[in-house]
A and B are shown apart, each in its own frame.
Chain A
């Protein structure tokens, strides 16, 4: 049975710290560099 909607309704919402982290320019700049590095490494390593 599809209980997806019930699960969504019961899912945890992001807290204030998480929401701030998602848009904090310093944190996001760091994540941007990390994400680029991860993707570059994955692309180069797999073929």
Chain B
């Protein structure tokens, strides 16, 4: 009987665990290790963060699903990998510390035949002084509890507006190397909509603050897409949307410090600025969750398995090279660790070879360089292909990965809701293929397939977003035929 351990029960890890169990059946063991007892559909945290949805609608307990699917669940966090085992056994091991209230703090080592690292990001609020809801001066929507806090603060700001006091609301990213600009953009527009619905929009200033070089970059170098039959850049598209909603934007910014009511940031031309705020939701930069690794003799090999960012090295081309030499082929396809063939890193947990957008820096050397986004669709796809590969290795004796999914080939869809409601909701839906531009394949259209790189604003996109919420929760709950719903 083979044992596969999946670290992390987010989009990629949970998907991997479900597909593994589906393929492997009862003859092999699938174990999931994750510190939280609940699964969270993170994209819908945006709606929790404006008070349009309650937190219980975006989470569900994992244990009953795993019990039903015969997957072993340890509510614990992984802290260290022993891919060569130890002096007693050559079998790989992972050290976990329980967070489960019944045995909190207890440490054990689990042996494994295959291990998937799907631990996602560490929310690195500490990278910017004053950033974040825990001891900082800003709110966040990265977790359901953060989003509840954001909604509460937003409600206070709306009360202030109703009493006639003008307010400035800033939404964006809190560091020069942040990713997930799409989520910040989406939250900014939901906040704006919330202000309109409350009848206080005219007294509020809403500002989008970003490290993107221009609007519509989204950390993927922007897009040129078909919209209403015309070819338009995502930059022009966004600029129109900002004007329509009377929103301001500050781009090319690295936030350096947040004091109570003041965001300090430097732009790539070197100007240092201070933006006052009454409400600020700034996303943190991400890094790996800080796993360490040791060889058989107990010598630390963290640097062999993990990049300096803490993310796991996989089959990418990590050779340092200038922007103009980056290609879609640098991106990983199998997510297998180059040093240990039974170790895989998926979703946000894998180390990207480089950014996708052109990186910039201030004259003082501060990076203003959006990190590459690894959104839900590709994260789920990576989880699935790695599960399929491992199942083939176990069931068919495959020696090398049998399934591939590269961000240089995969498409992604981003649906940024810009207001909710069945009749009055609206969203900007963007799809791009591939995520990492492939200039060799699509030399005339900025590296993307013009037939599938599209943009659309309207009620339909909002319906799609709402349907996705329901469908992905259905799939994650592993209800009948869950696997028919694509990642």
Chain A residues packing against B (C-beta within 8 Å)? 1-2, 4-5, 7-9, 11-14, 18, 21-23, 25, 27-32, 35-36, 38-47
Contacts and interface: CB of A to CB of B under 8 A. Distances in A.
Given A4-B214, A23-B459, A43-B411, 5 more contacts: A1-B269, A4-B215, A13-B244, A42-B411, A43-B413
Given A28-B458, A38-B431, A8 B467 contact: no
The 4 closest A-B CB pairs, nearest first, are A43-B486, A47-B405, A31-B460, A11-B239
Given A39-B431, A42-B411, A22 B426 contact: yes
Given A23-B459, A43-B381, A35 B239 contact: no
Given A11-B240, A40-B486, A29 B460 contact: yes
A8 B248 contact: yes
Chain B interface residue count: which class? 35 or more
A5 B409 contact: no
Nearest to B471: A36
Given A8-B248, A12-B240, A46-B381, A36 B464 contact: yes
Nearest to B429: A35
Given A11-B240, A46-B409, A46-B410, A2 B269 contact: yes
Interface of B: 214-215, 228, 236, 239-240, 242-244, 247-253, 267-269, 377, 381, 384-385, 403-405, 409-413, 423-424, 426, 429, 431, 433-434, 452, 454, 456-461, 463-464, 467, 486-487
Contact of A47 (B381, B433, B454, B457): B381
B486 A35 contact: no
A18 B251 CA distance: 27
A31 B462 CA distance: 11
27 contacts: A1-B269, A2-B250, A2-B269, A4-B214, A11-B239, A11-B242, A11-B243, A12-B240, A13-B240, A13-B244, A14-B240, A21-B228, A23-B424, A28-B458, A35-B460, A36-B467, A38-B452, A39-B413, A42-B412, A42-B433, A43-B413, A43-B487, A44-B486, A46-B405, A46-B410, A46-B433, A47-B385
Contacts of B486: 40, 43-44
Contacts of B250: 2, 4-5
Contacts of A42: 377, 411-413, 431, 433, 452
Nearest to B245: A8
A39 to B, nearest CB: 5
B459 A28 contact: yes
A36 B78 CA distance: 37
A38 B243 CA distance: 28
Contacts of A2: 250-253, 267-269
A47 B403 contact: yes
A47 B251 contact: no
A18 B458 CA distance: 9
A46 B249 CA distance: 34
A27 B228 CA distance: 12
Nearest to A19: B244
A21 B249 CA distance: 27
B240 A21 contact: no
A5 B236 contact: no
A47 to B, nearest CB: 4
A38 B454 contact: yes
B243 A47 contact: no
B460 A9 contact: no
A13 B461 CA distance: 19
A5 B460 contact: no
For A1, A31, A46, which residue has the most chain B Cβ atoms within 10 angstroms?
Answer: A46
